[in-house]
Amino acid sequence: MIIGYARVSTSQQNLDSQIETLKAAGCEKIYCDEMSGTKRDRPELNKLLQEVVRNGDTIVVTKIDRLARSIIDLNKIVQEAKNKEVTIHFLSEDMKFDGRDENSSLQMLLFNMLAAFAQFERDLIVERTSEGRERAKKQGKHLGRPARNEKDIERALKLYFSRSTNGHSVNDIVKLTGVPRSTIYHEIKKRKT
């Protein structure tokens, strides 16, 4: 069986192009995760490796960095697949690791070099993000979610405290005002103390 694996780092990114590429490569099933490639505990990847693939299957991934962002994790995943005699095929790099054969030392060298570049790219992203955060803090910019409108918070609290007369649940109040549940409870706690 040919099984695809796709991954994006955040829910704001789109899996569509990876899924389309995997389908074109003949994947019968596709497993997708929306989380960082640095995390080893990815539910769909774990399910794929531990429960789904069988001897002789092929896992297809669009690019090496979609499978993992660290050399250690990539090698662990490839070795785990090889132990099950499962082939991993990276489309972009046109590289296959066949679980039934030993791969050449040159292919392993190239794989590890590409993995190192994926990890390096990830490290650069983290570094640049940290630098940007520090620069923004020094400039006095607010980081994180935008502050909530005080009028919306007041409206939410009025609705909350008049629940006995208006019958609104906290879920209703969140929908009506757009104020998150955590903000409502935080403000209630502040007012009670």
Q: CB-based burial of residue 70 (10 Å sphere; 0-12 exposed, 13-18 middle, 19+ buried)?
A: middle
Residue 9 a catalytic site member = yes
Return d(Cα 24, Cα 10) in angstroms, integer: 24
Torsional sign, CA 89, 94, 97, 100? positive
Please count the other Cβ atoms lying within 10 Å of the Cβ belonging to residue 73: 19
Tell me if 111 sits within 8 A of 55, measured CB to CB. Answer: no
Tell me if 158 sits within 8 A of 184, measured CB to CB. Answer: no
Query: Alpha helix (H) ranges present in 62-169?
Result: 64-67, 71-83, 105-138, 150-161, 163-166
The kind and range of the H/E element at 24 are helix 16-24
Catalytic residue among 9, 17, 130, 169: 9
Tell me if 71 sits within 8 A of 65, measured CB to CB. Answer: no
Active site residues: 9
